[in-house]
Amino acid sequence: MALTIAGFDPSGGAGILADIKAFEHCKVYGQAVCTAITIQNEDYFEKSNWLPWEQIKSQLQILSRVRDFNNIKIGLVENPQTLEKIFKWLRKKYPSAFIIWDPILKASSGFEFHRQNAVSWRKLFSYANLIMPNLPEAEFLGLSKGLPQTAVLVKGGHSSSSQKSEDLLFLPGFPAPIKFTSKRIKGVEKHGSGCVFSALILANFAKYNDLEKAICKSKKSMLGFFENGSGKLGVLKCSSA
């Protein structure tokens, strides 16, 4: 069982729809809490209609009546204030849960969700077990070299290398990052790839309780995601179970 807390993308390429498909790919049952209704497709982003905290909390409360979530992913949220409320609610209800925060600051179409000072986000880092920024997000948030208390996986999809994609996992207490390298599919850009990757990692972690193994399996699934699908919409093929 896994929970995603993120926005609704009607194209199905990102957000909670993409997360649920990634969970099912790993044969993990997923449930979702919606934080926003976005008006977009895989090519264009118009706007985001944010759900207020009370509606987000109501969704969390109704699910918590019948479910205990040990594995949770947080994606798109309106602002640091809303993220802090979500984190505090989760840590009170599920103190030992493994929580991934995928800090979505900019849509793949180029639309910028957040322009707040990075300090507003930094104070929330300790609530997460794993933070998954891409390279621009890592630079903005000051995570390009990891954190002393929280695991950070810096996604390398935005690097200038044309031959390979290299993700760096910084673990507390380890001086050097662990490198995960895969081939880069030239000329291919897929909408929502960051959402799918973080959801795969959460689902694989739920199955194996081993972060490095979860990342390795997820990267293999992502190769198929980039190689399949129509246009900017990727498809996860054969089950990774």
What the chain holds in terms of domains, given with CATH numbers, is 2-141+191-227 (3.40.1190.20)
Residues in the chain predicted with pLDDT less than 70, given as ranges, are: 106-116, 157-162, 186-187, 238-241
- Structure confidence at residue 165 (pLDDT): 82
Q: End-to-end alpha-carbon separation of the chain, Å?
A: 15
The pair of three-digit structure tokens given for residue 207, joined into one six-digit string: 């199955």
Q: Which residues contact 37 (CB under 8 A, 6 or more apart)?
A: 7, 8, 48, 49, 51
In total, the chain counts a number of residues equal to 241
Please state, in angstroms and rounded to a whole number, the distance separating the CA atoms of residues 21 and 235: 9
pTM comes to 0.93
CA–CA dist 147, 85 (Å, integer): 22
pLDDT value of residue 108? 55
Task: Measure the CA–CA gap between 172 and 141, rounded to whole angstroms.
Answer: 17
* In contact, 158 and 189? CB cutoff 8 Å: no
Q: What is the reported pLDDT for 238?
A: 66
* pLDDT number for residue 187: 65
Give the pLDDT confidence score for residue 240 in this predicted structure: 46
pLDDT at 239: 57
pLDDT digits (tens, 9 = 90+) for 183-234: 877 667 899 999 999 999 999 999 999 999 999 999 999 999 998 888 999 9
pLDDT of residue 63: 98
Alpha-carbon distance of 160 to 85, in angstroms, equals: 36
Q: Is 190:174 a contact under the CB 8 Å cutoff?
A: no
Calculate the alpha carbon distances from 226 to 109, 170, 186, 236 in Å.
17, 25, 10, 9
The percent of residues above 70 in pLDDT, for the chain, comes to: 90
